[in-house]
Amino acid sequence: MKATIERATLLRCLSHVQSVVERRNTIPILSNVLIEASPAGTLRIMATDLDLQVVETMSAVSVEGAGSITVSAHLLFDIARKLPEGSQVSLDAADNKMQVRAGRSRFSLPTLPRDDFPVIVEGELPTSFEIPAQVLAQLIDRTRFAISTEETRYYLNGIFLHVADEELKAAATDGHRLARFTVPRPDGAEGMPDVIVPRKCVAELRKLLEEALDTNVEIDLSASKIRFTLGGENGVVLTSKLIDGTFPDYTRVIPTSNDKLLRLDPKSFYEGVDRVATIATEKTRAVKMALEHDRVTLSVTSPDNGTAAEEVPAQYGAEGFEIGFNANYLKDILGQIDGDTVEMHLADAGAPTLIRQDDKSPALYVLMPMRV
């Protein structure tokens, strides 16, 4: 295999695929990327961790010899990063070595044969639909902070996608908070199976979307695999296994009869919570909200660090009471509200609270209170 490619193109492509590769691998070939040069003048680069696979096709300056080889992902990425800007990189593989040349630099890297490189078998992906990249990015941003990191509840380690009421719904929860985002059902999504997209796949997809925000993403899925195609022919294809588990019926925890409505400016509320939480201890992170007519008093009491309080103007007409929340969870949700008001629908100090921008907003959040 022998090919020449622009450094910028190679670097961009490697930055997409190398983050899939784990730093520590018991199986040596999983540390490598597969590079395939085709006579048509394109280079195909592929990386996998056995659960997730990214393939990107890019144009080469020239392909002198078609073929394929695997080489260390992080090593090649680090080399490409340090090569001079505007240079052309020549990749030449022979005799279990790959020569990398650019300008006056020469590298000789060990390789492994391509036949050992694992490829995820997709099988049939019966459901297929398109969604604008911007919408998909927003769907991820509004929900992914609530994904659980607890490995024992593996079925919560991703974003749950399902179709209901003519809508495509995305939900994530860790048992303390829930985030849900709704979009009109795309054509072709009817009858799709309920799927849980793993956290790592979500993170990689979000990175790739950043460079393709004005395009559409093609999504193909079955009950066990999902494939995202960005940028058409010469684009990026991300394939992932789905989490094999049942997501809990989250609709049961969305409160429908919370009668105390509090309206605030999310920015000043966020800043107030952030300020008083400065003295909260790592362990509790609890902020107390005392609700009175048209104002909220935020306070934190810490045995080690003293106390803090701040008044935040608000619209509130129901009877006064006190409720506590985890400051970080509250800030995570407030950080997702774009408008200049946020609605909090409360019931009492022990019941889940519904948070949203307004009743037309596609995003909805539920937060469990804390004892304070």
Question: Binning pLDDT at 50, 70 and 90, where does residue 282 land?
Answer: confident
In this structure, the answer to whether residues 131 and 247 fall within a common structural domain is: yes
User: Is 62 a member of any domain?
Assistant: yes
Contact 30, 49 (CB under 8 A): yes
Q: What is the pLDDT of residues 28-69, one digit of tens each?
A: 999 999 999 999 999 999 999 999 999 999 999 999 999 999
User: Is 76 a member of any domain?
Assistant: yes
204: CATH:
3.10.150.10
User: Is 243 a member of any domain?
Assistant: yes
In this structure, the answer to whether residues 337 and 357 fall within a common structural domain is: yes
What's the whole-model pTM score? Answer: 0.94
Domain that holds residue 35: 2-116
User: Is 122 a member of any domain?
Assistant: no
User: Is 121 a member of any domain?
Assistant: no
Final residue in a domain of this structure, among 116, 149, 175: 116
In this structure, the answer to whether residues 245 and 135 fall within a common structural domain is: yes
Q: What is the pLDDT of residues 183-225, one digit of tens each?
A: 999 999 999 999 999 999 999 999 999 999 999 999 999 999 9
Number of domains the chain contains: 3
In this structure, the answer to whether residues 50 and 151 fall within a common structural domain is: no
Final residue in a domain of this structure, among 252, 272, 297: 252
User: Is 312 a member of any domain?
Assistant: yes
Distant-in-sequence, close-in-space partners of 33: CB < 8 Å, separation ≥ 6? 14, 17, 18, 21, 45, 46, 47, 70, 71, 72, 73, 76
The arrangement of strands across the sheet holding 321-326 comes to 306-313, 295-302, 286-292, 321-326
In this structure, the answer to whether residues 262 and 331 fall within a common structural domain is: yes
Question: Binning pLDDT at 50, 70 and 90, where does residue 284 land?
Answer: confident
Tell which residue, 270, 276, 315, has the closest CA to residue 296: 315
In this structure, the answer to whether residues 246 and 292 fall within a common structural domain is: no
In this structure, the answer to whether residues 135 and 112 fall within a common structural domain is: no
In this structure, the answer to whether residues 299 and 271 fall within a common structural domain is: yes
Q: How far apart are CA 47 and CA 17, in angstroms?
A: 6
pLDDT of residue 281: 83
In this structure, the answer to whether residues 247 and 259 fall within a common structural domain is: no
User: Is 97 a member of any domain?
Assistant: yes
Contact 276, 294 (CB under 8 A): no
In this structure, the answer to whether residues 237 and 263 fall within a common structural domain is: no
Structure tokens at 264: 């605030």
Final residue in a domain of this structure, among 85, 116, 147: 116
Question: Binning pLDDT at 50, 70 and 90, where does residue 339 land?
Answer: very high
User: Is 372 a member of any domain?
Assistant: no
In this structure, the answer to whether residues 273 and 302 fall within a common structural domain is: yes
Averaged confidence pLDDT in the chain: 96
In this structure, the answer to whether residues 231 and 261 fall within a common structural domain is: no
